[in-house]
Amino acid sequence: MIQSLFMLNAATGDVIIEKHYRGQTTRALVEVFWEIVSKAAKAEDVAPVIPTSKYYLFNVLRGGVFMLAAVCKEVPALLVTEFVHRIADVLELYLGDVTERSLTAHFTTVYQVLEEMMDSGIPLMSEPNALVDIVRPPRGIGQFVAEMFTGRKSSVAESLTASATSVIPWRRADVAYATNEIFFDITEDIDCIIEPNGTVAANAVKGTVWCSCQLSGVPDLTLWFNNPSVIADPGFHPCVRLARFEKDKIISFVPPDGPFKLMTYTAASKSHVSPIYVRPTVHWHASAARVSIVLATKPIAVGGALLRSTITSSSGVGVSMGGPGTGAAGEDGAAVEGVSLIVQFPPAIISADLTPTKGHVAYDTTTNRLAWTLGAIPASSAPFELAGSIHIAPGSRPPLEPIDATLHFSMTGTTATGLAVRELRLLNDSYRYTKASRAILRTGRFQIRM
């Protein structure tokens, strides 16, 4: 399936690591790919599949690194793309962040992981739990000292582990914990494009349900959401029984041991709003313009009511995990965190003099980019403003290129769709365990045009 896999620096195009599964592949493919990247406005805008005369090039951008898979035969495109994403997820588990520095510092571990995950370019093993048993994560001081006494030097297991031979490929049967617990994170990313007149040109919400499981034995779990009708285009971990969800909108699964991605989805409705609104105005006068950007919080209305997923926990079997509540930005002490606005001015702008009422501003004259950092915005706060003037060369006309701004924020305890975990039951065992869920709303690609 995959002929070769290259890992490139997304800023320079240099090859960091290359792995060939079916013969040597020339690096000329990398040059073809990098020529396409250099023509794109942003690295994120590069097409995920690029056809050439002999190969199909599948690429995934992760942490400043392009993962480029060369395929020479017709294969399902989503299969290759999903597997390359899985490689990136596994490497993040091993290295923390997938960067050029981490890849070069632990290149032996990376090659061992790639060797175990594919056999002759065919996906072989992609479950992190099984891989960690076969290829140990990079050594720490404790592991180094242990190797001195045990005499074991290789980071690859000498024999097949229990997880590699388990009937359930993503979980071994001999898991045991003194304290049993399971936690869920519902993370939603809101993508939006707002026109200069304030109308929403595009709006979408993408969600991910993360799970961290530390339960003994082989637990069989059933999970209910408070309002599954908001879920569209779901994608599940292989542990989920699809027939049960398609019939009853209930997630029945035997979870892997440790952290994993339970499901992804998009919002069924396109009418979601952000907890922050931005109102920009630009008025040109000769070779200067007066700029005013007003930023403030607002409640999130979902289905005519305010919903909030609160963090709840309990011990036992089949206890409720929370549901609809009341809260939004500006209510019940909720706050929006990590708020920043990145304004990209056209090349014709030669200077900018803007002053905020909150936070601080940094202007980079090289890239014509201004960063307004506000941090956390408290509840029920008054609007904040970034105001001042921008200038072009005397005698020049105002630039035709638009001024684009990108908004960033995150908010804990709220989702745009109002989705929350209502109930979780353990069916095949009776031990006590702790369970909890929380919701996080953040920006994906949130663009404001001026």
| CATH number of the domain where residue 9 is located | 3.30.450.60
Reduce the secondary structure of 130-149 to three states and give it as a string. HHHHHECCCCCHHHHHHHHH
Q: What is the pLDDT of residue 146?
A: 40
| pLDDT on residue 6 | 95
Cα-to-chain-centroid distance, residue 77: 21
d(CA 364, CA 423): 50
List strands edge to edge, sheet with 351-356.
276-285, 288-297, 384-391, 351-356
CATH of the domain at 386: 2.60.40.1170
Instruction: Find the radius of gyration of the CA atoms of the chain.
Output: 25
Query: Has residue 357 been placed in a domain?
Result: yes
- Does residue 71 belong to any structural domain of this protein? yes
- Please write the tens of the pLDDT for every residue from 104-154: 999 999 999 999 999 988 988 888 877 887 888 886 544 543 444 344 455
Residue 309: closest CA among 234, 409, 209? 209
Contact 276, 256 (CB under 8 A): no
- Residue 116, domain member (yes or no): yes
Residue (of 299, 273, 266) closest to 419 by Cα position: 266
Given this model, what pLDDT does residue 140 score? Answer: 57
Q: What is the pLDDT of residue 199?
A: 79
Helix, strand, or coil (residue 58): strand
User: How many CB atoms sit inside 10 A of residue 153's CB?
Assistant: 7
Q: Which helix (DSSP H) or strand (DSSP E) does residue 372 occupy?
A: strand 369-377
Residue 198 lies in a domain: no
Question: For residue 303, is it within any domain?
Answer: yes
Q: Is residue 343 part of a domain?
A: yes
| Structural domain contains residue 340 | yes
Look at residue 362 and tell me if it is in a domain. yes
SS (H, E, C) 294-348: EEEECCCCECCECCCCCCEEEECCCCECCCCCCCCCCCCCCCEEEEEEEEECCCC
Q: Per the structure block, which two tokens stand in for 414? A: 């709220």
CA distances from 26 to 54, 205, 365 (A): 12, 40, 40
Q: Phi, psi (5° rounding) for residue 18?
A: -135, 140
Residue 418, helix vs strand vs coil = coil
Low-confidence spans in the chain with pLDDT less than 70: 139-166, 300-334, 379
- Could you report the per-residue pLDDT of 339-381, keeping only the tens digit for each? 999 999 998 889 899 999 999 999 998 889 999 999 998 767 7
- Say how many domains are in the chain: 2
Give the domain extent around 22: 4-125
